[in-house]
Amino acid sequence: MGRFQLIWNGGYKVSKQYGVGILGNCCTHGEFVAFALKQEPAAKIVAGWEEDLRRTAGLSTAIGLELESSAEALFDNPHIDIIALACSPHEKAGWVEKAAQAGKHIFLNKPMAESLDSAWRIEKAVSASRIQLVYDIPVIVRFNPVTAKLLDEISAGRYGRPINYTHTFSFTFSTDFPLAMVWPERLDPPSKSGGGELTNLGCYAVDYMIGLWGRPHSIQAKSTSYWDIYHEAGVENFGQVIADYGDFFAVLASGKQPLQTLPSMDVAEALNPRNWHNVLEMQFEHHNLTVLPFQNILIYNGAHIPLEEYLAGYTCLTPFQQLLRAIETGQRPDSNAESARLGVEVLMAAYQSAKERGKLVELPLESGANPLV
């Protein structure tokens, strides 16, 4: 890759363009990763690989290249600096270990892993090497400019002591949406997927909660598989999580909902943010915040705050930009292996609680096994 000076968000200069190999296209996530990386001037997609014949053509089209015949070709390619992992959750720990051995940095697309054991393996592989890892959990909260700035402000103590926190995040669909045909991986068994939509979509809400408040003391949860395709697959399409932070509860609800009033939709419409129900309520001793990021709504103490005013002068680094900053300066990404592992721990505690009808589960967990397997 040619040497050059490139200025990206925040005025930070990187020393070169970084070669990326995309490994996997589970649930079309490799295609999403390819689209995101093509917006990054400092990224050059060099190669890709996927073994699932349902997903090879989509990934090849997304990167504009023929796929490699083996994953090993990505690790052996001297032009690849970064491996972007968008494979099935149960494969990620093994590929992270291989990437670390090959000295490749890691762009780890969500969800992190199918079990806490695998999350521990990922964290260990990164800490035992000189590579950097960013947890790519894009767009919804941690890397949405509005909620990213709120995360920075809350972490700095601007709003004081929290007394209540709720976050509801779901994708909504028409009742005839052919999800089993479009994203069959969503119905994979927990041994591969980690679980249903608490893992797939709930990981966003859990990750943001961890970013805000850290690891809770305990978890209680309920889950449901009322959507027939999820019920038949034996995984949940919706769940609720109550996290005890001592002085307050954080309450999360997340999943996929078929809504009777929505007209028939295609994939593009299903991915339109107007069909994403993403609502956060944050109450502090002397402040209240209501946020609907995709409706451009921010209410502070009863007053509607124009987002152009709120975000003026603020820079939200993308996951890839955080990774490059880490590679070039050593500053660990805010979205890292540790924060991602804490999220997996919360999800596994939630599954354990839901399996036992909402039983309280204390953290940290001793077992790394997935309770659903």
Per-residue pLDDT reduced to its tens digit, 123-161: 999 999 999 999 999 999 999 999 999 999 999 999 999
Which range among 6-15, 56-65, 106-115, 173-182 shows the weakest confidence by mean pLDDT? Answer: 6-15
Instruction: Name the average pLDDT for the chain.
Output: 96
Which residues does 48 contact at the CB level (< 8 Å), separation at least 6? 21, 22, 23, 25, 30, 34, 59, 60, 62, 63, 65, 67, 68, 74
Which residues does 237 contact at the CB level (< 8 Å), separation at least 6? 196, 197, 224, 225, 226, 227, 230, 255, 256, 257
pLDDT at position 9 over 70: no
Q: What is the pLDDT averaged over residues 171-198?
A: 98
Which tens digit of pLDDT belongs to each residue from 270-314? 999 999 999 999 999 999 999 999 999 999 999 999 999 999 999
> Given this model, what pLDDT does residue 122 score?
98
Which tens digit of pLDDT belongs to each residue from 57-70? 999 999 999 999 99
Which tens digit of pLDDT belongs to each residue from 11-51? 677 888 999 999 999 999 999 999 999 999 999 999 999 99
Which range among 6-15, 47-56, 93-102, 167-176 shows the weakest confidence by mean pLDDT? Answer: 6-15
Query: What is the percent of the chain with per-residue pLDDT over 90, rounded to a whole number?
Result: 96
Count other C-beta atoms under 10 Å from residue 172's C-beta: 17
> Given this model, what pLDDT does residue 356 score?
98
Query: What is the percent of the chain with per-residue pLDDT over 70, rounded to a whole number?
Result: 97
> Given this model, what pLDDT does residue 1 score?
45
> Given this model, what pLDDT does residue 101 score?
98
Q: How far apart are the first and last CA of the chain?
A: 44
pLDDT at position 5 over 60: no
Architecture label for domain 145-303+344-362: 2-Layer Sandwich (3.30)
Which tens digit of pLDDT belongs to each residue from 187-244? 999 999 999 999 999 999 999 999 999 999 999 999 999 999 999 999 999 999 999 9
Which residues does 209 contact at the CB level (< 8 Å), separation at least 6? 165, 167, 216, 243, 250, 252, 346
Architecture label for domain 3-138+321-336: 3-Layer(aba) Sandwich (3.40)
pLDDT at position 7 over 70: no
| Domain boundaries defined on the chain | 3-138+321-336, 145-303+344-362
Q: Which pTM does this prediction carry?
A: 0.96
